[in-house]
Amino acid sequence: MVETVVTHVGMTPQSVHQFGGFRRQGTTPETAEHILQEAIALQQAGAFAIILEHIPDDLAHPITQKLPIPTIGIGTGAHCDGQVLLTADLLSLSSWQPPVAKSYMDLKSYVDLKGAIAQAVQTYSQEVRNHQFSPA
C-alpha cells in the first residue's frame, strides 16, 4: 500500500490562536526561512504535496520552484502549482470572509443563482489557468 501525505505550512488554521489571529506568515526573513526549511524537510520526509497558506507570493514562488512536489496555494498568489478556494468563500456564504479568500460574488444579491454561480466559478478557473489569481 502506497501512502500519500499532503502537508501544510504557513498559516495553519488549527494554530490561529498561537499566531495571534489569522495573520500572514513568513513576512520576516527569519520566519520566511523557517517556512522554506520546513517545506523542504516535509518533502524530504515523504510528503506528496504541500499546502502553502497565507504566505507572501515572494515566498511561495521560490518554495514552488525549489520543491519537486506540487504546492497548493491558499491565499499565496499565482505561483503555486495549484489553488484552493472554498466554495463558501468564493460565493460569500460565510459570516466571516478570511483574508486569504477572494469572493467572486455575494450569493444573496443574485436572482439567477445557477447562472451567477457558474459565472463565479468560471472566472476563478480562468484566473488560475492564466496565472492571474491573487488573494483578496
Q: Which CATH architecture has domain 1-84?
A: 3-Layer(aba) Sandwich (3.40)
* pLDDT value of residue 36: 97
48 contacts 8 by C-beta, under 8 angstroms? no
Question: Does 48 have pLDDT greater than 60?
Answer: yes
Distance from C-alpha of 64 to C-alpha of 20, rounded to nearest angstrom: 27
Range 63-79 average pLDDT? 94
* pLDDT value of residue 108: 65
Share of the chain above pLDDT 90, in %: 49
In the chain, where the domains are located = 1-84, 85-136
Please give the model's pTM, rounded to 2 decimal places: 0.76
Q: Which of 124, 121, 126 minimizes the C-alpha distance to 136?
A: 124
Is 127 considered catalytic here? no
Candidates 30, 33, 38, 53; catalytic one? 53
Cite the beta strand spans of 1-136 per DSSP E. Answer: 6-10, 49-53, 71-74, 82-83
